[in-house]
Copies of this chain bind each other. A is one copy, B any other.
Amino acid sequence: MDVTIKDVAKRAGVSTATVSRVLNGSPYVQEHLASRVREAIAELGYRRNAAARSLKTKKTNTIGVLVPDISNPYFMQISKGLEDVLAPHGFSLIFASSDEDSRKEAKLLRVLSEYRVDCLVVATAGGNDELLKDINGGGLPVVLVDRLPPVLAGELDYVVEDNHSSAYQLVHHFLEQGARSFGLIHGPMSATTALERAFGCRAALAEGKVPPERIVEYHGDFSQASGQAAVRLFLQGELPDAVLALNNSMAWGAILELSKHKLRIGEDVLLGSYGAVDAAPLLPFSITYVDQNPRELGERVGEVVRERLVSSKQGHIWHVMQQKLRMDRPE
């Protein structure tokens, strides 16, 4: 049997209420009693029971975080930012990974809500728009991050990147570099980010009057393998002037595959990426990419969570973060 507040009270010769007051830092306890309580706590090795506490207070000081992939550095950078902001305020993070699966996501959403987390941070795999709206409506604040299903734009708090604009600028840059034909490697259209990036690209291509026959599009799944597959497809026709991968894993796949075919990036073909390619500084060619900042995204989410929890403010909070184009050149 665990030691409870009752045991502490008995040992210190006070009531449980006094122990509770000491535990919660109430100023209305005489110092000599407080120190007796603290002694008893130490002697007995008492640890407060969070379940009993939150049953009473209806607060868990826990934030549920639901991401498509717990091992994806992008999402974990976001989580790091979140933790940096929230941990100092006493919040813990409980994680779940949907594996980009709507059904699993729905199940995990239920589990997290049963834990009565104080707030839910979700990078949705899609397909749970109604459920998310219900949960939020039911009194559990939901903050969307990275992925924003259009239906939810007016309904929930969110912090996302300006995917459309960044992708637009990426294409625009290559048009200015003189590229006249394009190979686009898209992510899965179930991810709103992939969809928005695709639209951003198309807007720039239309504006640049690039005719459809000079555009090849491959629909990948954000994985390195799909970046490689895309390049193999492109090689079946005439190699486009520029290959644009709409995330960094696919960009890396494209680089590997192009290299395998002895194609020189920067000369035979230009390469663009949405998101930095880690190895870029060492590669013998330059890559222009959209500079994401997941850490900052996470910090912003943390602030939104706090705003939502402390100021219980009306209306919705949303942030659309701007990205800049960057180029890594060989040194």
Contact = CB atoms under 8 A, between A and B. Distances in A.
Interface of A: 2, 45, 47-52, 54-55, 60, 62, 69-71, 73, 76-77, 79-80, 83, 87, 92-97, 110-116, 134, 138-139, 255-256, 259-260, 278-279, 281-284, 295, 331
Contact of A47 (B93, B114, B259, B278): B114
A331 B260 contact: yes
Give the 7 A-B residue pairs with the shortest CB-CB distance, closest first.
Answer: A279-B279, A71-B80, A94-B94, A51-B51, A51-B55, A50-B114, A50-B115
Contact of A55 (B45, B55, B70, B278): B55
A96 to B, nearest CB: 6
Nearest to A81: B71
A116 B255 contact: no
A255 B283 CA distance: 11
Contact of A92 (B115, B256, B282, B284): B115
A244 to B, nearest CB: 19
A291 to B, nearest CB: 17
B83 A92 contact: no
Contacts of A281: 256
A92 B71 contact: no
A166 to B, nearest CB: 22
A163 B183 CA distance: 45
8 contacts: A51-B51, A71-B73, A71-B76, A87-B97, A93-B95, A256-B281, A259-B331, A260-B331
Contacts of A256: 281-282
A103 to B, nearest CB: 13
A70 B62 contact: no
B97 A83 contact: yes
Which of A115, A134, A331: most chain B Cβ within 10 A?
A: A115
Contacts of A260: 331
A284 B2 CA distance: 61
Nearest to A107: B87
Nearest to A281: B256
Nearest to A262: B331
A97 B80 contact: yes
A48 B55 CA distance: 12
Most B CB atoms within 10 A — which of A71, A76, A139? A71
Contacts of A283: 279, 282
A50 to B, nearest CB: 5
A70 B83 contact: yes
Contact of A114 (B48, B94, B114, B259): B48
Given A70-B80, A87-B97, 13 more contacts: A49-B114, A49-B116, A50-B51, A50-B116, A51-B60, A51-B115, A70-B76, A71-B73, A92-B96, A93-B95, A259-B282, A278-B279, A284-B284
